[in-house]
Amino acid sequence: MGVLTYAAEAPIASGIVVAGRYRLCSVLGRGGMGTVWLAQDELMERWVAVKQVDLGSDWSGKTARKRALAEARAASRVEHPGVVRIIDVVRDDDQPWIVMEALSGQSLGAAIKEQGPLPVEQVVRIGHCIVDVLDAAHRAGVVHRDVKPGNVQLCDDGRVVLLDFGVAHVPGADWRPPPGGFAGSPAFVSPEQLQGGEPLAASDLFSLGATLYAAVEGRSPFDRGDLFATVLAVAEGRMTPFRRAGRLTPVLEGLLQPKLGRRWSAARTRAALLNL
C-alpha cells in the first residue's frame, strides 16, 4: 500500500470494515468529537484516515451526520496543501465517518508534550505555513475557530497541515455549533470568541498567536491549570510573560492583541515572519 511509513505502525488489520471498504487498523488520535483511525481502503489499496464522529446524546445519528458533513464541506472548501484532504463522508450503521488522507508525523500538541518548547526557527516555519492556510480559508469564507496545537499536524515530509474543521464557520452552512456557548478551546480562543461574538477571521489569527506562543514557550499564554482561571486570563488579556520567544516576540504580541483594531492581519504576520 501507498504510505509505507505506516507499515510498521499498523498492526494486523482488525475485523472492522466501515462502509464495506475501510478496514480499521489502529488509532491515530482521539479528540473531543471522535476517534481517528488509520484504515486500509481495500478498494483503492491505499492508507486513509477515518474519523468516527461521536453520536453524543443523539442516538439517531442525525445531528452527528450533519456535523460530519459540515466539517468535511468546510475543509473541502479550502483548496490548499496545508488543509487535510477530505476523500468522502460515509455512513455505516447510522454513524457518520469522515474519510481523509492519512497524514504521517504527529500533532504540534504531541510534539510540545514530547519535546517541550520548540526552537524559534521551527516555530517561524510553522507560523508561515499556518498563516498561509488561514489566509486561504478566510478568502474562501471559512473561519476555522479551533486553531490550537492539537489541530496542527507536523508531517514527516515537512508539510504542516491544519486539521479539524469540526466547529468551522461557513456562511449558509446547514449545521452550526449550538448558540449561547463558544466554539473552540479555552486556552487558545480570542476574548471576542469567548464572549460568543460573530465568527471572525481575526479570531483565528489570535488563536494562531496562542498556538505559536505555546510552541515556542511550551504552554499556552493563558493556561492557568484550571478552566475558570484560564478563561479569566483570556478575558482580561493577561498572558504569561515571554521567556523563549526571542525574535518571534513582536509577531506574537501583534497576533495576541485583545483589541480587534490592533490585531495583526494575515498579510502583516506573513510579511513579518518572512523578515525574521
Ligand X SMILES: Nc1ncnc2c1ncn2[C@@H]1O[C@H](COP(=O)(O)OP(=O)(O)OP(=O)(O)O)[C@@H](O)[C@H]1O
- Residue ranges for the known binding site for ATP are 51
Q: Which residue stretch of 133-141, 160-168, 170-178, 208-216 sits at the interface with ligand X (rule: CB under 6 A)?
A: 160-168
- What number of residues does the chain have? 276
Are 222 and 238 spatial neighbours (Cβ–Cβ below 8 Å)?
yes
By CB under 6 A, residue 107 contacts ligand X:
yes
Under the binding rule (CB under 6 A), the answer on residue 186 touching ligand X is no
Cα gap 52→17, rounded to integer Å: 12
Q: What Rg value do the Cα atoms of the chain yield, rounded?
A: 19
d(CA 69, CA 169): 13
**From the CB of residue 90, how many other CB atoms can be counted at a distance below 10 Å?**
17
Q: Which stretch binds ligand X (CB under 6 A): 8-16, 150-158, 211-219, 267-275?
A: 150-158
Q: Answer yes or no whether residue 32 interacts with ligand X by CB under 6 A.
A: yes
Sequence-distant (≥ 6) Cβ neighbours of residue 211 within 8 angstroms = 108, 130, 147, 148, 149, 152, 188
Question: Which residues sit in the known binding site?
Answer: 51
Enumerate residues 219-238 that contact ligand X by CB under 6 A.
none
Q: Which is nearer to ligand X, 31 or 254 (CB)?
A: 31
Q: Residue 119 and residue 110: Cα distance in Å, rounded?
A: 15
Q: Is 41 a catalytic residue?
A: no
d(CA 218, CA 225): 14
Query: Quick one: 34 or 191, whose CB is closer to ligand X?
Result: 34
Stretch that binds ligand X, among 62-70, 102-110, 119-127, 252-260 (CB under 6 A): 102-110
Which residues carry out catalysis? 146
Residues of this chain that bind ligand X (CB under 6 A):
28-29, 31-34, 36, 49, 51, 84, 100-103, 107, 146, 150-151, 153, 163-164, 166
